[in-house]
Every structure is written in structure tokens, then in C-alpha cells.
């Protein structure tokens, strides 16, 4: 059973940075009011790979600030941050020993509501 009720869809390269490299800013195109423990889905995989605490959301960062904050967002192509400019603050990532399959609803591109049935 899942320990979380919703999960965030993240591209593999960013997911690996969250679990392995201390990435604590997930950069998005909009702000979020969601807080708490959420699952992390690898985009296109149909699998939940782990969990993280979503602890806050910052204001849009400028181009100069993006360079200064590189260690936190770990996005190599800074041009991407012209669109994805809002940092969502993450902490306490935990990668599952085995990824867990879930049912992906049509149209879900950012969040997936999870049920506790595997």
C-alpha cells in the first residue's frame, strides 16, 4: 500500500537528482499550495519510485538567481528556467527498494491521485 495519497510526475533525470544528488528545488511553471508527503513518479514509467516531503513553494527566480541556485535545482539548461521558474521545495526523499505500479489516469501530467490498491 502507498503511504501517500498523491504523487508528482517527474522526468527521470530530475528524479535521480532528487534521490541521489541532493536536488531540493523541483522547478515548475506554476506555484503550488500542496504540502506534505507525496509520491514521486518517473514520467512515462507507470511506477512510483519513492516519496518526498513537499515543504513549500518559492517565488519565480530570475535568470541571475537561477545561476546562483544551481546546486539546489540542478537544471543544466538554464533556458528551461524561463518557463519552469517556480521552485517547489523538497526534503527527506526516500527511494523505494522496488518501484510500485499505479493506474495512470488519462490527462494526468503533473499530479496523480493514488489509491491504496496495488
Residue 28 dihedral angles phi and psi, to the nearest 5°? -135, 165
Asked whether residue 1 is domain-assigned, the answer is no
What is the predicted pLDDT for the residue at 1?
55
Per-residue pLDDT of the chain (118 residues; tens, 9 = 90+): 567 899 999 999 999 999 999 999 999 999 999 999 999 999 999 999 999 999 999 999 998 899 999 999 999 999 999 899 999 999 999 999 999 999 888 888 899 999 764 4
The answer to whether residue 25 is domain-embedded is yes
CATH number at residue 14: 2.30.130.30
Q: How many domains does the chain contain in total?
A: 1
Residue 77 lies in a domain: yes
Full domain range(s) for residue 15: 6-113
In a domain, 118, yes or no: no
In the chain, helix, strand, coil percent, each to 5? 20, 40, 40
102-107-110-111 Cα dihedral, nearest 10 degrees: -50
With respect to residue 30, please indicate whether it lies within any of the assigned structural domains.
yes
The Cα 7–Cα 42 span in angstroms is 10
CA 5 to mean position of chain CA atoms: 15
In a domain, 60, yes or no: yes
> For 66, which DSSP code?
H
Amino acid at each position: 500500500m502507498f503511504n501517500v495519497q498523491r504523487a508528482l510526475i517527474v522526468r527521470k533525470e530530475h528524479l535521480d537528482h532528487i534521490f541521489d544528488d541532493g536536488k531540493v528545488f523541483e522547478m515548475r511553471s506554476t506555484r503550488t499550495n500542496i504540502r506534505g508527503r507525496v509520491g514521486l513518479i518517473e514520467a512515462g514509467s507507470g511506477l512510483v519510485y519513492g516519496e518526498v516531503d513537499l515543504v513549500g513553494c518559492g517565488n519565480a527566480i530570475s535568470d541571475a538567481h537561477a545561476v546562483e541556485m544551481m546546486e539546489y535545482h540542478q537544471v543544466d539548461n538554464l533556458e528551461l528556467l524561463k518557463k519552469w521558474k517556480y521552485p517547489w521545495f523538497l526534503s527527506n526523499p526516500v527511494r523505494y527498494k522496488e518501484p510500485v505500479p499505479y493506474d495512470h489516469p488519462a490527462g494526468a501530467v503533473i499530479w496523480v491521485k493514488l489509491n491504496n490498491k496495488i
